[in-house]
Amino acid sequence: MRRDQAVEIKIGVQHTPREITLESNQSTDEVEKVVAEALAGESRLLSLTDERGRKVLVPADRLAYVEIGEPTVRKVGFGAI
């Protein structure tokens, strides 16, 4: 994936009213693989890295849902509204 593209990821956590939203430089396939491993019990934590390099860790047994968006190109500079 190109560095100027980001994938929006929304994570629902059981018993938590708000979802976690982050943008990641990981590809949709990479994110899907990590989520599948967590749900299959191969990993006790869902671990994702956001675009700034911060790690987001969620216990796999608390996942309610994971929504993976399509990669979008980041806009740089100023534009007319």
Q: What is the CATH number of the domain that holds 22?
A: 2.30.30
pLDDT at 1: 45
pLDDT at 4: 63
Q: Which residue numbers in the chain have pLDDT < 50?
A: 1-2
pLDDT at 70: 85
Strands (E), 3-49: 5-13, 20-24, 45-49
Domain count of the fold of the chain: 1
* Residue 78: inside a domain: no
Range of 46's domain?
Answer: 5-73
Distance between CA atoms of 26 and 81, rounded to whole angstroms?
30
* Residue 14: inside a domain: yes
pLDDT at 3: 55
* Residue 81: inside a domain: no
